[in-house]
Amino acid sequence: MNQYPIRTISEMTGVPTTTLRAWERRYGLLKPSRTPKGHRLYSAQDIELVREIVKLLKSNHTISEAIRITRNPELGGLVSTTSEDHWQSYQQRILKSIENFNDLNLDRTYNEALSIYPVDMVNEHVIIPVLQALGSSWADKPAGIAEEHFFSAFLRNKLGARLHHDAHRAKGRKVFISCLPGENHELGILLFSLALLGHGYQVLYLGGNLPLQQIPLVAERTEIDAVLLSGTRTDLWTPSFKNEMADIISTLTLPILLGGEFSSRYEKELSAMGIQVLGSDHVDALEKMQSMVPAFKR
């Protein structure tokens, strides 16, 4: 019988190793065997169980409900009445911590969510809604600008640290990631980069406002399998941008993908150039990414 280490299970299911350990410790969901050195080994049945849990979570069940359903299949028709409130609870706790500039509570709440749920689900149901709430209310609050800066700084530090910490563990295809020139809003692509890591991709992250001419130079010095660019500003679509992007496409023989609001606005034009458009919805973009450039060769 084949057995798999925890990193392999994480790559196959998109569930971080810390979350898998939390499910084992808190809920007794998984009972892996151990190597003589104490490393966890999982079976094919464990993989299917984790995938079923993820499927139920994506159907708006809480982790507790999902576990109950897997243990009692007759509950399969159970309709969740608490999941939405559950996510809203995390959002409100984070927003309250931001309002009070309480980085300790903010850190505890964020870490708690990540210890129970896959990172892309936390991004979708907690972090992105919080960013949207801050973006829509900052002008109406006396300290709105300071609150938005506080959370942005916290999130940039947390995501950067996780990206650095987990980067060397991934074994899948390596994706070059940066924002378009003139684009400094990098929180969205940072969140997406972390989700890609959770699905096994290697990430070479270069941050915001990168001149397009630098991309081939980087590609010459490291083995990358795809280029992912992101932008929110629709005014970036200029003759200069189109010419520079055409040069990049003619130079590289790699898939070039583009995400963010910019890609949604100019989807037709970008597709005509041979660029694969991911759009601005994180969940949809992740599914497209996995379809266009799978983390592992099939």
Domains, the chain, ranges and CATH? 4-75 (1.10.1660.10), 83-165 (1.10.1240.10), 170-292 (3.40.50.280)
**CA–CA dist 221, 23 (Å, integer):** 40
Which whole number is the average pLDDT over 256-278? 93
pLDDT of residue 95: 95
Are 174 and 201 spatial neighbours (Cβ–Cβ below 8 Å)?
yes
- Other beta carbons within 10 Å of 59: 13
Residue 19 has pLDDT above 70, yes or no: yes
Share of the chain above pLDDT 90, in %: 39
pLDDT of residue 233: 87
The least confident of 55-59, 101-105, 240-244, 251-255 is: 55-59
Share of the chain above pLDDT 70, in %: 95
- The CA-atom distances, in angstroms, between 216 and each of 25, 86, 183 are 46, 45, 19
Which whole number is the average pLDDT over 146-165? 89
Which whole number is the average pLDDT over 215-239? 91
Residue 75 has pLDDT above 80, yes or no: no
pTM of the model: 0.78
| Position with higher pLDDT, 298 vs 96 | 96
